Amino acid sequence: MAVRIALAGKGGTGKTTTAAFLVRFLVETGRGPVLAVDADPNANLNELLGLTVEITLGEIKDELRTRVPESMARGDYMEMRVHEALVEAQGYDLLVMGQPEGPGCYCAAHSFLSQALQKLEKSYAYMVVDNEAGMEHLSRLNMTEIDHLLVVSDASSRGVLTAARIAALVKPLRLNVGHKWLLVNRAPEPVPEALDKYVREMCSREGLKLLAYLPESPELFELEIHQKPIWDLSPDNTFLKKAYNAFEKLLAA
């Protein structure tokens, strides 16, 4: 069974970028094979990884209504198409949920992704799941067993408070989480004492472990502006080194 690492956090905190660098870290440190899952209907993890997606699970689900060959069982056809939806790369694969079939209708798409993950995860050492903002989507995926929940925040009191509230949903959603982490992105250097004090108070309140403060990176900003994949960021980059140290800490827990 794969080690399950799920990312959560409000929009704009760098959650998907963190997921992409976590995939890069796992691959470069020889911890593959890795299954990267983009469970956000507004999918863009593939862009950060430099991959092209031909078909999403949402599109496959729509196919099941009309395109199942008479010679195939529905379950066999679904399994075949899910494997075809995997974007294969060096050391990892990517699976994208995509848009639901109707406005505001997310539950069916999450249910379909859940079925796919249950069959796929046994073939991987790690599974990195990038979710949309919030936590309830994890329960819809039936990810009741999570080894590491990585909540991502920006370096603001409001962002940290939101991250703490997200972590607080673990109990009412009945999620069994091995470790809950907080990662603070775009933190000033040095980290202001008042910010650090507030972060640690929120971590203590919600049972979060402070994973790291990651700094702003002009080089990463340039990559994003020019829509280049995260693989292009130099190994000597300060942000990347600190991110990798953080990921080592997470996996050592």
Question: Tens of pLDDT along 39-94?
Answer: 887 779 999 999 999 988 888 877 777 777 777 877 777 788 888 899 999 999 99
With 0.75 as the threshold, say if the pTM is over it.
Answer: yes
Residue (of 160, 115, 171, 162) closest to 140 by Cα position: 115
Strands 3-8 and 145-154: parallel
Give the span between the Cα atoms of 27 and 91, in whole angstroms: 6
Q: What is the mean pLDDT of the chain?
A: 88
If you search the block for the tokens 């910010």, which residue do you land on? Answer: 195
**108/197: higher pLDDT:** 197
Section 117-144 average pLDDT = 78
**Residue 85 CB-half CA count within 13 A:** 26
Cα torsion 248, 39, 183, 35 to 10°: value is 0
**208/42: higher pLDDT:** 208
- Answer whether residue 127 shows pLDDT above 90: yes
3-52+88-98+122-252 to CATH, choices 3.90.1150.10, 3.40.50.300, 3.20.20.60, 1.10.10.10? 3.40.50.300
The amino acid occupying position 219 is E
